[in-house]
């Protein structure tokens, strides 16, 4: 955060100083008492499961020098106290204020049902070759995390790349009104969080909020290979070679695609795609801006090529050179638990355990196929929050993995047994399908059957914590 005086902070959060020197300056904020460092502002967030006010004593003990609270508290020596009506709103208001001070900052908002974290990381990898860039840290992509990322801005950044998640209509609109992005990326739209949103149509409505809230140059980077994204584009009217939303000012659209029939009709196209199993990389020919350029990326999924196109378009939008883009693609580092490749005695383990929905599950299976030289084994858990489409979506994944030629399927939990049923219906022999209720049983089976040359995908929704399977396997040795 910029150096801000207590009075300035108080006005930004529409609060009242109960204690403290109005001229004292602060530049760091946290909402987690365990992460407090000396000099921090601690904001006591009232969440679903925890009340930050209960942790104010711990925060002060760890060195917090200011507290933002929504209730009167006992005074602490040499600790400023600001009283507000709502601490979550205060966090968001302070983040917006910090963002508003940075007039020249370019903000790229990234959303999508799958691939938004990877795409955010790719954009960061390309832009950082030439510019000072901040990106969403860890999984800070919601109403708490995004403001904290904006409060990491210190004033010397050229670009911020911010991931935006949604579980309800209005979530992304809120995030965009805090971040004020000029550039928006939608990787895809599919059946994620349908339990909350009600339908894929509503998922699309939620993602479209990013485009509706863009400011300034209003540049949208959109995946034309995704049907729902194409439908979003159709919600906007064409005028003078641009696409303008019916409810706001002109929106400039940049499209990207891997589909051959769209070559020459999109702004960024990737063809001649090859995967290199041993190098764990891929190459492709990029056609964009009237030129053709051979590129290589240290990723192995077809979806990675698609995400790379979005990242390239975003990097070009902020002025990154082709040379830096080519170099950045070779050195992409992805956030933990997103298709991490681990090796154990000649076996590749794809740790893709951060989360799962139908789009990301298919992408994980595609990566398994592209990376494997021997047996292809999938260890899959449930995809949660799918509501009325849960059963059909899981069965579709079972059929999909059979079409892709997987050799062995292991599922975890009752819900994921529908994946097994789908695989059976699609013709996978029953002896190649295992269903377990406990992770220990899965690790026990894998220890017995896996052999050098196998490639194993492990993936499921976050609450299943399927990375524990990976950890147990790696305890036996590996890197």
Residue 242 has what pLDDT?
Answer: 43
16-19 and 80-83 beta bridge pairing: antiparallel
In whole angstroms, what separates CA 262 from the centre of its chain? 27
Higher local confidence (pLDDT), 279 or 361: 361
C-beta separation of 93 from 281 below 8 A: no
Q: Residue 279 phi/psi, 5° resolution?
A: -80, -10
Q: How do the domains of the chain map onto residue ranges?
A: 4-93, 102-329, 340-474
Q: Residue 207 phi/psi, 5° resolution?
A: -70, -35
Q: What is the per-residue pLDDT across 376-426, written as a single tens digit (0 to 9) for each?
A: 999 999 999 999 999 999 999 999 999 999 999 999 999 999 999 999 999
Q: What is the per-residue pLDDT across 146-155, written as a single tens digit (0 to 9) for each?
A: 999 999 999 9
Percentages helix, strand, coil for the chain (3-state, rounded to 5) are 35, 25, 40
Q: What percent of the chain has pLDDT over 90?
A: 88
Mean pLDDT, rounded, for 65-84: 96
Q: What is the per-residue pLDDT across 421-445, written as a single tens digit (0 to 9) for each?
A: 999 999 999 999 999 999 999 999 9
Mean pLDDT, rounded, for 303-316: 97
Tell me whether residue 264 is exposed, middle or buried, using C-beta atoms within 10 angstroms of its C-beta: 0 to 12, 13 to 18, 19 or more: exposed
Q: Give the C-alpha distances (Å, rounded to integers) separating 332 from 146, 223, 296, 411, 436.
A: 22, 20, 11, 31, 35
DSSP 159-204: EEEEE---SSTTHHHHHHHHH--SEEEE----SSSHHHH-SHHHHH
Position 479 confidence tier, pLDDT thresholds 50, 70, 90:
very low
Distance CA 351, CA 343 (A): 10
Residue 192 has what pLDDT?
Answer: 85
Give every CB contact of residue 24 below 8 A, 6+ residues apart in sequence.
Answer: 5, 6, 65, 66, 80
464 DSSP assignment: G
Q: Give the C-alpha distances (Å, rounded to integers) separating 435 from 110, 410, 464.
A: 36, 6, 15
Distance CA 313, CA 394 (A): 33
Position 164 confidence tier, pLDDT thresholds 50, 70, 90:
very high
> Domain 102-329 is of which CATH architecture?
3-Layer(aba) Sandwich (3.40)
Q: What is the per-residue pLDDT across 21-41, written as a single tens digit (0 to 9) for each?
A: 999 999 999 999 999 999 999
Distance CA 382, CA 413 (A): 7
231 DSSP assignment: H
H or E element that contains 230: helix 227-234
Task: Decide which of 3.40.1160.10, 1.10.3720.10, 3.40.50.300, 3.90.190.20 is the CATH code for 340-474.
Answer: 3.90.190.20
71 DSSP assignment: S
Mean pLDDT, rounded, for 449-457: 95
CATH 3.30.300.30 assigned to domain 4-93? The reply is no
Position 202 confidence tier, pLDDT thresholds 50, 70, 90:
very high
Tell me the H-state helices in 330-405: 358-371, 390-403
Distance CA 143, CA 148 (A): 9
**Looking at the predicted structure, is the pLDDT value of residue 91 above 50?**
yes
Position 247 confidence tier, pLDDT thresholds 50, 70, 90:
very low
Distance CA 4, CA 14 (A): 15
Residue 477 has what pLDDT?
Answer: 53
Of 81-90, 248-257, 274-283, least confident by mean pLDDT is: 248-257
Mean pLDDT, rounded, for 324-333: 95
Closest CA to 179 of 221, 138, 136: 136
Q: What is the per-residue pLDDT across 463-475, written as a single tens digit (0 to 9) for each?
A: 999 999 999 999 8
Position 196 confidence tier, pLDDT thresholds 50, 70, 90:
confident
Q: Could you report how far apart the first and last alpha carbons of the chain are, in Å?
A: 38
Residue 248 has what pLDDT?
Answer: 44
Position 279 confidence tier, pLDDT thresholds 50, 70, 90:
confident
Distance CA 367, CA 457 (A): 9
Mean pLDDT, rounded, for 354-370: 94
455-459 and 252-257 beta bridge pairing: unpaired
Residue 243 has what pLDDT?
Answer: 40
Closest CA to 470 of 438, 434, 446: 446
Residue 337 has what pLDDT?
Answer: 78
Mean pLDDT, rounded, for 47-62: 95
DSSP 285-325: EEEETTEEEEEEES---HHHHHHHHHHHHHHHHTT--HHHH
Distance CA 184, CA 164 (A): 10
What mean pLDDT, rounded, does the chain reach?
Answer: 93
């Amino acid at each position: 955060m910029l150096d801000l005086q207590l009075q300035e902070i108080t006005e930004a959060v529409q609060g009242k100083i109960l204690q403290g020197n109005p001229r004292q300056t602060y530049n760091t904020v946290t909402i987690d008492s365990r992460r407090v460092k000396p000099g921090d502002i601690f904001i006591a967030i009232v969440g679903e499961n925890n009340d930050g006010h209960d942790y104010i004593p711990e925060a002060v003990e760890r060195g917090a020098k200011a507290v933002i609270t929504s209730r009167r508290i006992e005074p602490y020596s040499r600790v400023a106290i600001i009283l507000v009506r709502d601490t979550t709103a205060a966090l968001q208001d302070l983040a917006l204020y910090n963002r508003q001070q940075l007039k020249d900052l370019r903000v790229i908002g990234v959303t999508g049902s799958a691939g938004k974290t990877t795409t955010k990381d790719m954009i960061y990898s390309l832009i950082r070759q030439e510019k000072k860039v901040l990106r969403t840290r860890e999984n800070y992509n919601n109403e708490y995390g995004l403001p904290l990322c904006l409060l990491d801005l210190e004033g010397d950044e050229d670009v911020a790349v911010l991931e935006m998640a949604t579980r309800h209509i209005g979530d992304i609109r809120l995030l965009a009104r805090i971040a004020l992005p000029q550039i928006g990326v939608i990787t895809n739209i599919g059946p994620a969080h349908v339990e909350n949103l009600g339908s894929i149509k509503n998922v699309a409505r939620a993602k479209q909020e990013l485009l509706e809230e863009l400011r300034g140059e209003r540049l949208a980077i959109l995946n034309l290979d995704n049907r729902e994204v194409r439908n979003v584009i159709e919600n906007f009217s064409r005028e003078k070679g641009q696409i303008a939303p019916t409810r706001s000012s002109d929106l400039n659209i940049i499209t990207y695609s891997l589909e051959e029939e769209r070559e020459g009709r999109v702004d960024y196209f990737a063809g001649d795609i090859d995967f290199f199993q041993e190098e764990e990389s891929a190459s492709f020919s990029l056609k964009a801006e009237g030129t053709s350029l051979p590129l290589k990326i240290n990723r192995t999924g077809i979806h990675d090529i698609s995400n790379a196109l979005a990242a390239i378009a975003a990097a070009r939008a902020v002025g990154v050179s082709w040379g830096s883009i080519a170099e950045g693609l070779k050195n992409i580092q992805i956030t933990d638990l997103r298709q991490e490749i681990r090796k154990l005695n000649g076996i590749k383990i794809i740790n893709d355990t951060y989360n799962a929905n139908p789009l990301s599950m298919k992408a994980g299976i595609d990566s398994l196929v592209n990376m494997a030289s021997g047996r292809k084994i999938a260890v899959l858990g449930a995809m949660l929050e799918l509501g009325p489409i849960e059963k059909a979506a899981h069965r579709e994944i079972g059929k999909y993995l059979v079409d892709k030629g997987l050799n062995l399927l292991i599922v975890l939990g009752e819900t994921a047994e529908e994946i097994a049923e789908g695989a059976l219906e699609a013709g996978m022999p029953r002896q190649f399908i295992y269903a377990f209720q406990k992770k220990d049983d899965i690790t026990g089976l894998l220890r017995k059957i896996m052999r050098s040359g196998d490639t194993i995908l492990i993936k499921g929704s976050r609450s299943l914590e399927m990375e524990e399977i990976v950890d147990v396997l790696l305890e036996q040795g590996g890197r």
